[in-house]
Amino acid sequence: MHALAPNAVAAKRRFGSRHVLALFLAFVAVAPLLLPDFYVTLLNYVGLSALVALGLVLLTGVGGLTSFGQAAFVGLGAYTTAWLSTTPELPSWLAFTGGSPWAALILGLLLTALVACALGSLTLKLSGHYLPLGTMAWGISLYLLFGNMEFLGGHAGLSDLPPVSLFGHALVDNGQYYYLVWAFVLAALFTTRNLLDSREGRAIRALKGGMVMAEAMGVNTSRARMVIFVIAALHACAAGWLYAHLQRFVNPTPFGLHIGIEYLFMAVVGGAGQVWGALLGAGVIVVLKQWLQTLLPQLFGSAGHFEVIVFGLMMIVLLHRARDGLWPLLAKLVPVRPEPKHIDVHAAPLPKKPQPEHGAVILEARDVTRRFGGLVANNNMSLQVRAGEILALIGPNGAGKSTMFNQLSGVDTPSSGEVLFRGQSVAGHSSRAIAALGMSRTFQHVRLLPRMSVLENVAIGAHLRGHKGPLAGVLGSNR
């Protein structure tokens, strides 16, 4: 008999990711049958919060865009269905909805997409701390709008919303509604994973590694930022629709700035870069909030939002001890063996691009000058690169080599002079546009994305070889 090596024993103890997923789905399926109604209701709120937090994982954890205003999009979805389903006489152009919650969901998603595009076109131009401040501004504005419009019921809100019906059956029981909520959550989880594992998803994940690198690989960073902004808003809208028909009542209180911060906190606690971290963070915060709201008033002898203080302390501790959130810590405690990826070794090769004639001028710089105020980094530089030639640009540190490369590749624009690629002037063009013409570049300091595999890092360089967009990624038809 031969004893197994320690590594072999550990390997046998590991679950495959499919086993863990099967256990989770089994729990979701049987939870309403085993748990008291109070806990089923709590799981409903966990699911609603997880939907919003999942959008923030995509927006903040993956894309690097911080938003404090997601609660406003939740309110947009909630108020759209509340108004459409409770107004006795709808305008003629909305009469076709018949007050149906499902029609209200579709219209709410369309309205949210339009509002998100409008807000994103303004907000996403900001950077640094101005971006989260911008999201706070429109988050507060929408919250005040909800409370000050008479046809939305003002601060009193709208009540007597009809229940959601499915196949002619009204979902009035918490246990029945639970399955609808978690169907939305599971659909959002799997479509988000599909998106991040696609061509468009790799472009989105490249945003956090630096927009200069992503643009140099041909990624339209403005479009990618808008895509995740709209998707996160749609997640929040769906959560608002579900919330409205769960409560059967809507008022502005759950859509304020402090709730938006709470949603962001859920994403950070679970793991801002982890899809399943949204579910973990939502579960931890919702359950902990319920527990603290019961316990803390008993300890302090008065009612109040004491849980906010505890959440603030938790955030400080978490940022010091577990900056990546709780999901990576859980993954270490319960090691999961990743499923092997199946690669088609018989895939057809990509078509070859036409090659220029040997010795033809490919890249040319004519009297390129770059000034930064009174500092001249490049002064009347000219060069030619011919097909089949290797040309070196040599100089000491600070001589302006990187500045010259940036002007040739579109990262920077010359103060004067001209850059031509295959006879076409490209000075002032974006690096993405120049990459589409066939020019590629590397960087002095290699800009790898540590959260992506070697294969995925390489695939970013082939981004322009594909053409499928986010919808194909969500549906899992493009890897």
Average pLDDT over residues 104-111: 95
User: What pLDDT digit, counting tens, does each position of 134-149 carry?
Assistant: 999 999 999 999 999 9
116 compared with 213, residue with greater pLDDT: 116
Element (H, E) at 250: strand 249-250
Task: For residue 368, give the CATH number of its domain.
Answer: 3.40.50.300
Task: For residue 43, give the CATH number of its domain.
Answer: 1.10.3470
Do 179 and 240 share a domain, yes or no? yes
User: What pLDDT digit, counting tens, does each position of 132-189 carry?
Assistant: 999 999 999 999 999 999 899 899 999 999 999 888 888 888 889 999 999 999 999 9
Average pLDDT over residues 17-36: 86
Sequence-distant (6+) residues with CB within 8 A of 329 are: 322
User: What pLDDT digit, counting tens, does each position of 358-395 carry?
Assistant: 888 999 999 999 999 888 988 999 999 999 889 888 98
Q: Tell me the three state secondary structure of residue 180.
A: helix
Average pLDDT over residues 417-443: 87
Average pLDDT over residues 431-436: 88
Average pLDDT over residues 293-314: 72
Do 329 and 381 share a domain, yes or no? no
Do 315 and 382 share a domain, yes or no? no
Do 195 and 57 share a domain, yes or no? yes
Residue 6 domain flag: no
Domain stops at, among 303, 337, 371: 337
Residue 317 domain flag: yes
Number of domains in the chain: 2
Chain mean pLDDT for the chain = 86
Task: State the residue range of the domain holding 387.
Answer: 361-437
Residue 295 domain flag: yes
Per-residue pLDDT at 13 exceeds 50 = no
DSSP state of 184: H
Per-residue pLDDT at 210 exceeds 70 = yes
Residue 142 domain flag: yes
Per-residue pLDDT at 215 exceeds 60 = yes
Instruction: Determine the pLDDT at residue 344.
Output: 66
Instruction: Determine the pLDDT at residue 12.
Output: 42
* Token reading at 3: 């004893």
Residue 57 domain flag: yes
Do 125 and 213 share a domain, yes or no? yes
Do 55 and 181 share a domain, yes or no? yes
479 compared with 282, residue with greater pLDDT: 282
pTM for the model stands at 0.88
Per-residue pLDDT at 301 exceeds 80 = no
Residue 442 domain flag: no
Per-residue pLDDT at 217 exceeds 60 = yes
Average pLDDT over residues 351-364: 84
Per-residue pLDDT at 10 exceeds 50 = no
Per-residue pLDDT at 25 exceeds 80 = yes
Do 315 and 180 share a domain, yes or no? yes
Per-residue pLDDT at 228 exceeds 50 = yes
Do 154 and 187 share a domain, yes or no? yes
Element (H, E) at 16: strand 15-16
Instruction: Determine the pLDDT at residue 339.
Output: 62
Average pLDDT over residues 33-44: 93
Instruction: Determine the pLDDT at residue 246.
Output: 94
User: What pLDDT digit, counting tens, does each position of 440-467 carry?
Assistant: 888 877 777 777 888 888 888 878 777 7
Average pLDDT over residues 75-90: 92
Do 181 and 76 share a domain, yes or no? yes
User: What pLDDT digit, counting tens, does each position of 259-283 carry?
Assistant: 999 999 999 988 888 899 999 999 9
Least confident of 35-44, 141-150, 206-215: 206-215
Per-residue pLDDT at 97 exceeds 60 = yes
Do 223 and 291 share a domain, yes or no? yes
Do 138 and 265 share a domain, yes or no? yes
Residue 198 domain flag: yes
Average pLDDT over residues 117-124: 94
Per-residue pLDDT at 333 exceeds 80 = no
Instruction: Determine the pLDDT at residue 305.
Output: 66
- C-beta separation of 43 from 178 below 8 A: yes
DSSP secondary structure of 134-155: HHHHHHHHHHHHHHH-GGGTGG
Do 378 and 315 share a domain, yes or no? no
Predicted confidence band at 229 (pLDDT cuts at 50, 70, 90)? very high
Per-residue pLDDT at 430 exceeds 80 = yes
* Token reading at 418: 């001209």
Residue 259 domain flag: yes
